[in-house]
Structure 1
């Protein structure tokens, strides 16, 4: 077998579908929507509507959110079809492996490892900052030594709260999916109730005059705003990582993915309508626009409740991303591209993969300054979105894929448009982001050619 054929070999579909039989199917549509909302609706809902309205779109930020949701729904439908046709662990990594071949699956998986772990590590530090601020409200101040990344010159050695919250989530997920999902659903409910409180209370302080002019930056501002808020919807893809643990996956997974996007869009639009109606959009270019708007109408006490909602939002986002990244590492280890120790299942859970992910994220969140690296989350996501979108075409062409569930409407135009839009957004990322990502992928290819290509295993039967 020559090198290219070895790099592009594909596993047998039936072997792949049966590979995760040790995992337990216990998750329902409600669990998946809770996972999706947990990932998508975070602190961004309390920040983005205000800052983007003030700087880019004005009150027409509502249209920007709807446009971004429409575009994001293209990729969401592609994910939903893959999840329906191939309910296997590994999400986009597994899809790429099955339709494009091993090296493409590895590249997608390597991008997602970066996306998930960096995202959680960054959010853990934000959680720590919010929690410390909440403690200060009770006149409790954490010592500087345990309140920041390792930087002895600044008197900080570890961000202890960031480490503790990641470890707590690890313990929660290690106790089984049913108890984990019960806690996650509760936290998502708390978050949704708090968002609803802001929408309902804020509605009574809306002044329609604040919506004029509605298009202060013109149509160009709405389009620019849509490009900015597109990233607010990222996270729904993590739902597909749960495929082998879902009841009736051909129907449940598409409902979870698309349901997440619909609910997220409604919440973002309602918050944007109320926020820009409470105060003039020109005043919302602040770090905490929702809290600012509540203070402007003399509702500071409600602002404290919003802080609890922000903490709940960050917690559920970390739950979803740690869960998804552990299943991704498990799938790559199961296929031999990483040591098969990661693919070991104990008590119906991939314990080795889970605790590896938890410890790496805890170390990153506790010790490493992440400011310059967070933009890499976007490029990892867009690479996965692009390949999943265009992957619908070879998926449909292969007879081995028997999909009786959801299918992308408007084939093949819809997946091609989704692919092109992902490429367009990737061109908007900074040169520094591209350079850092190329370094990451070069490191990943070194691992693939030195280990993965020799140890990765596929069934003898190939998809031609």
Structure 2
């Protein structure tokens, strides 16, 4: 804050004479921290309890990783040491999860990493993270929908139903393929479910998650009776380095709690239950993944695992091939819950950015009866359906990963910054061992980002460049923080660095 140009406490207007662009009155102005859990008029409704939030988080955490990723990492990188790979990934993910838990208990508002970084690091940082998540979450929905489509086609083939080639995949993925119709329709179906209301869609997600975990339990128990200790030797055929390499891949299976935190404004008693939901869901996911690794590698030698269908391959190797359909059904349900969680997340991030004025406020108006942002949900559904329908899964997947890791890094840094600038804020959960735990989260995320394909960097940089142009052309001028504050806001306590809260 300038010493020569006083600003009324709480006033977010640029001081007379203009503030420097790179200041707390410019692009680094802060979103006021609102720790209240009251519902705003026309806003989102707080209807989800602890176990619905846990189910939403598990929807993102336990998905493709169970039915495919564990086998891929074992076969290509770690062998039976995949157990160590997932353990390392879970430890790294826990560091980020604890940072999310602190923010969830401090700022129980929609938007996840976008809202957290905006409140702690400044508007332009929040915008970039939000803009990044819009693409990442939408692309994840598309990738997951394509994977579901593949399993669905497998089931139809097994029961003798032949479908026209034009509807079975994106152009270039097979002879005669024109569009992945199943994937596109799944995206639209999820948008429809989300548009029905938070309570109804949360019930839908909870039921699917319970069924999914039941199927995983059935497969694990059945396979446990066919474990051969000899399959665990050699335990580290690629050395400990292979286990660490596998951890980089496994990490992408254990970060689904960030999608759940985007729904903070629809959680009853958010400050109390959100941190609990994050910790409980990650603990359940950790147990599930480790059990899956133990059983999968005990049933079949890692060199013989089919990376296209690891569990089906392993079950077939021990004479349980009849469970293949069960595995396929479990995969469809499990992966669908992941798509649902990510579609909910992107719609809430978009809604929050529009409510803050960084995107057109048209999208911040909820349905008058269902109290969900249908003006956002349907564009997200249509956009993800288009990506899923016409892009091969690898090209769609290349749009993800780097943005999620960037968000993790920023949230970890933001926890440390907010501890210093706003020590007065009530925190229902505090990340332990700060700054060590956030530093672990940042280090692991940066390491993974550094090992991504260079084309991913170029695409990410291009998307961020477009975002910056939009921010300076629209968001910066129309931001809610660029407007005069109300008299009541003048009494808000100021952070220790003297910037506007």
Q: 1:9 & 1:37 partners in 2: Cα distance?
A: 35
Give 1:413's aligned residue.
Answer: 436
In the TM superposition, what are the counterparts of 1:50-449 in structure 2 within 5 Å? 50-149=71-170, 155-346=176-367, 347=369, 348-399=371-422, 402-449=425-472
Q: 1:153 & 1:372 partners in 2: Cα distance?
A: 15
Equivalent pair of 1:382/1:426 in contact (CA under 8 Å): yes
Could you report, residue by residue, the CA deviation over 1:251-299 in whole angstroms, capped at 9, with x for unpaired residues? 2111111111111111111011011111112212531111111111121
Distance change (3 Å), C-alpha of 1:285 and 1:129: closer
Equivalent pair of 2:48/2:268 in contact (CA under 8 Å): yes
Q: 2:392 & 2:232 partners in 1: Cα distance?
A: 39
Equivalent pair of 1:322/1:357 in contact (CA under 8 Å): yes
Q: Report the alpha carbon displacement of residue 244 of structure 1 after superposing the two structures with TM.
A: 0.7
Normalised by the size of structure 1, how large is the TM-score? 0.95
Q: 1:339 & 1:327 partners in 2: Cα distance?
A: 14
Q: 2:463 & 2:139 partners in 1: Cα distance?
A: 12
Q: 1:416 & 1:206 partners in 2: Cα distance?
A: 39
Greater share of residues in helix? 1
Q: Report the alpha carbon displacement of residue 17 of structure 1 after superposing the two structures with TM.
A: 7.0
Match of 1:35 among 33, 39, 56: 56
Which 10-residue stretch deviates more, 226-235 or 107-116? 226-235
Q: 2:223 & 2:165 partners in 1: Cα distance?
A: 36
Could you report, residue by residue, the CA deviation over 1:297-336 in whole angstroms, capped at 9, with x for unpaired residues? 1211111100000000111111111111110110011011
Which 10-residue stretch deviates more, 447-456 or 1-10? 1-10
Q: Report the alpha carbon displacement of residue 395 of structure 1 after superposing the two structures with TM.
A: 1.2
Q: 1:311 & 1:339 partners in 2: Cα distance?
A: 36
Which 10-residue stretch deviates more, 7-16 or 68-77? 7-16
Q: 2:434 & 2:400 partners in 1: Cα distance?
A: 29
Equivalent pair of 1:342/1:352 in contact (CA under 8 Å): yes
Give 1:2's aligned residue.
Answer: 20
| Runs of at least 5 residues in structure 1 that lack an aligned partner in the other structure | none
Normalised by the size of structure 2, how large is the TM-score? 0.89
Distance change (3 Å), C-alpha of 1:351 and 1:10: same
Q: Report the alpha carbon displacement of residue 16 of structure 1 after superposing the two structures with TM.
A: 8.8
What secondary structure does 1:148 align onto?
coil
Distance change (3 Å), C-alpha of 1:3 and 1:17: farther
Q: Report the alpha carbon displacement of residue 18 of structure 1 after superposing the two structures with TM.
A: 6.5
What secondary structure does 1:178 align onto?
helix
Give 1:13's aligned residue.
Answer: 33
Equivalent pair of 1:337/1:456 in contact (CA under 8 Å): yes
Cα RMSD for the two superposed structures: 2.0
Which 10-residue stretch deviates more, 372-381 or 13-22? 13-22
Q: 1:324 & 1:390 partners in 2: Cα distance?
A: 21
Q: Report the alpha carbon displacement of residue 400 of structure 1 after superposing the two structures with TM.
A: 7.3
Q: Report the alpha carbon displacement of residue 396 of structure 1 after superposing the two structures with TM.
A: 1.0
Q: 2:421 & 2:36 partners in 1: Cα distance?
A: 15
Equivalent pair of 1:395/1:401 in contact (CA under 8 Å): no
Distance change (3 Å), C-alpha of 1:433 and 1:19: farther
What secondary structure does 2:314 align onto?
helix
Distance change (3 Å), C-alpha of 1:340 and 1:154: farther
Q: Report the alpha carbon displacement of residue 15 of structure 1 after superposing the two structures with TM.
A: 9.1
Give 1:452's aligned residue.
Answer: 475
For these two proteins, the number of residue pairs brought into alignment is: 464
Q: 1:152 & 1:371 partners in 2: Cα distance?
A: 11
Distance change (3 Å), C-alpha of 1:88 and 1:152: closer
